Amino acid sequence: MIPCQIEAIDDIVDFVDGLIVPGCDLDINPKFYDKVVSDKTKTMPNDEKVVFELALVKRILDKNIPFLGICHGMQLMNVVLGGDLIQHIPDYIKSEINHEQPVPKDVPSHLIKIKKDTLLAEIAKDYTEILVNSTHHQAVNNLGEGIIVSATAPDGIIEAIELPANTFALGVEWHPEYLHRNQDLDIKLFDAIVAAATFKNN
């Protein structure tokens, strides 16, 4: 467990070979991407954790340390690079997909399409589409500087982003930690960041 202390960031960055930021039940305060809080946004009682996370992710990306953002982690990656978020998907788009699936997280609920010539496509190998789980009501909207989209849902919601200028900087909106036992791509995501971190350390 990493302590949420700004003064610890230098030590953390010097210590880690790679970073995974997982999901979170609460939302990033929209003030961090210059938007007014929607009544559907569930922000934290205080911003200490998000301030720390944004500062840490920025330093990790600046230092080209391998990074994997999962759901909340992907959204942090976009915000820290100047992008913004859709605060509540049903208010933004009419869709047959329920991005807050009612079934358990280890059950996939909708397809995503993986874009060619991306890091995600390289990890996925022969997969161009894959079923994922979906437990989010927010999503990436306008992209941060240098970010590209590497997967989308059929309704156009962004499901994966990456930073091509970095060796390994990838964000996914789904939760591969719940699917890794029955889908090759999900375990490959973790294998890939471990390999990138190991290579960096050699």
Per-residue pLDDT of the chain (202 residues; tens, 9 = 90+): 666 788 889 998 999 999 999 998 889 999 999 999 999 998 876 788 899 999 999 999 999 999 999 999 999 999 999 999 999 999 999 999 999 999 899 999 999 999 999 999 999 998 899 999 999 999 999 999 999 999 999 999 999 999 999 999 999 999 999 987 767 899 999 999 999 999 766 5
CATH superfamily of 6-201: Class I glutamine amidotransferase (GATase) domain (3.40.50.880)
Please report how the helices 48-62 and 72-80 are oriented relative to each other, as an axis angle in degrees rounded to 10: 70
Active site residues: 71, 175, 177
Residue 165's contacts (CB-CB under 8 Å, 6 or more residues apart) are 146
- pTM of the full predicted structure? 0.94
Residue 110, beta-bridge partner list: 132
